Structure 1
Amino acid sequence: MSTFATIGILFVVALAVGFAAGFFVGGDDRAQNMRIGVLVAVIISVIILIDRFMQSFPGYMEDMNGRPIATVGSSTPGYAPDNMWRVGLDVFFHLLLPTISLLTISFAGYTRYARAGMIEVLSQDYVRTARAKGMPERVVVVRHAFRNVLIPITTLVATDLGGLLGGAIITEFIFAIPGMGALFQRSLGPGDLYPVMGYFIVIAFMAILFNFLADLAYAALDPRVRVR
């Protein structure tokens, strides 16, 4: 019977096989073929996982009486099937609506920043130079303009991810999800200081971690920034 540990082991084996295939067959382009082999292994693994979940979806629909999308909680109370794929579907559909709500809130800000950044960047000298060289408009926009717009957006995404992992208090309260935000809210009423202090420690740690990851992402987005 499949378990999450088995899936993880098989995924690592698939990555190793893709890496080894690119290494032994790559020839002069060995590095590029190893990257392609790993990428193909990831894509095929994701497709197989999606197919296996979809095979279990009709049975999950019968268990949920034709109403798979839940609105409360992180899982169905008392639902413990032997099939791990149905357990995964249950968790997915319980987290679907909270995830959409959080993404919608953040997406509005990202689009505004991206629009303002693109308007500013498209008037820069290096963009006009790229167009004067005869580059296609898609290359000018995606490779030159949008890549620089992603730098401030990366900072926003890192800040939002740190806050989400620290706890989305309102979203967890509405959807009754027992997360960090719910723990913080329950601890405020009786004045339980230790969970509150732990909550702020987690928030601070996540803020430091994701700001560090954002700094590393700058090196990939901006050729003027390099990690030495």
Structure 2
Amino acid sequence: MKLRDYVIRRLLLLIPVLIGISFITFFLSHMIGDPAAAWLSEKTAGQPELVEKIRAAHHLDDPLVIQYYYYLVDLSKLDLGRTGRNEGGRPVVQALMDYFPATLELAIIGMILCLLIGIPAGILSAIYKDKWVDHIVRLGALVGVSMPVFWLGLIVKYWLSYKFGWFPLDGRLPYSITPPPDVTGMYTFDALIAGQWDTFFIAVRHAILPSFCLALISMAIITRMMRSSMLETMTQDYIRTARAKGLSERIVILKHALRNALTPTTTVAGIAFGGLLSGAVMTETIFSWPGIGRFSVKAIGATDFASIMGFAMLIAIIYVFANLIVDILYVYLDPRVKYG
């Protein structure tokens, strides 16, 4: 099967996945309250005629099955509805487009930290198995997996920001700094595109702590997966053959062992990236980062069902595409893998 056919088939499978996600989120959200409440303020909540007008405009008087039908029709047109009063009643798609770049920037920097730290740490741990390096890496990975994000965020903010002043406390940029021209919505990338190096380094300093806190668990998982994959790969016959040929240990590890050990690690990294995007709620709240995590928290607090369902649909799409990219990378990492 060709790559194009494989991608098309996987994209078609996205349709039933999104329908399933929409079905679950729609019916669960409508079980916890009146969707019309999201569009009402304290002043208008006591006006029955306005409530009925809102319910009629959004088909809320119809049975749930009919409401879900109208939701699917709007979804086919990429219309996710309108936000509640907490976001000014603007389209959900527009709100997600405004908030998503901040979360994507955080996730990309976090994934870079995961790969730059997790993969070398896993390789070193496997090479020096049962030595002091291995024990330190394994202990660090255990601490990383066990560390609650909210606790870690508060600790690093107190020590690294408040006590030592190495990093800013909150936000993406200081109020005195004008954001770079909006190209991607990600300040670090936009500053690079515009050649604003001072703004770039300031934006990176603001993003380091929240990115690290967000990525720590994934970093620990990637480290442990890389270690176990390398240990398994190093026992294979072709590794012994490479050593018997007189190749240096550096060549054996980097050229022969690493590429094969990366295959399972790639799966973990792809899933982790989706997790970074969807799991930023706590991190963005602690660091006042204006991403979709904070957007979803505000939507839940305001019982804004359209925004909640839009957030769920976006995360579902991200996970599907992350898995698709991982499956495509498999073929390049391991030629024995075929599209099927």
Q: Name the TM tier (shorter chain).
A: 0.5 to 0.7
Question: 8 Å contact 1:127–1:140 — kept in the other structure?
Answer: yes
Alignment map for 1:30-109 (pairs within 5 Å): 69-80=167-178, 84-109=196-221
Distance 1:68 1:145, change over 3 A: closer
Q: Structure 1: where are the runs of 5+ without partners?
A: 1-66
- Deviations for 1:145-170, whole angstroms, at most 9, x for unmatched residues? 22111111101111111222345111
Aligned counterpart, 1:196: 308
> Which TM-score applies when normalising by structure 1?
0.64
1:21-32 map, 5 Å: none
SS in 2 for 1:161: helix
Q: Which has the higher helix share?
A: 1
Partner Cα separation in structure 1 for residue 236 and residue 309 of structure 2: 47
What residue is the counterpart of 2:116 in the other structure?
none
Which of 289, 292, 317 lines up with 1:205 in the alignment? Answer: 317
Cα offset for 1:78? 4.2
Paired letter, 1:211: N
1:152 and 1:176 map into 2 onto residues whose CA distance is: 35
Over the residues paired in the alignment, what is the CA RMSD in angstroms? 2.5
- How many Å separate the matches in 1 of 2:313 and 2:305? 12
Identity fraction in percent: 39
| Corresponding residue for residue 51 of structure 1 | none
Q: Are the structure 2 counterparts of residues 81 and 158 from structure 1 closer, same or farther at C-alpha, using a change threshold of 3 Å?
A: closer
Q: TM-score, normalised by structure 2?
A: 0.44
What SS class does the counterpart of residue 220 from structure 2 fall into?
Answer: helix
| Counterpart position of 1:123 | 235
Higher relative contact order (CA 8 A, sep 6+): 2
Once residues 118 and 218 of structure 1 are traced to their aligned partners in structure 2, the CA distance between those partners, rounded to angstroms, is 17
Count matched residues.
163
Shift, 1:185, TM fit: 1.0
Partners of 2:249 and 2:215 lie apart in 1 by 30
Pick aligned residue for 2:260 from 148, 153, 160: 148
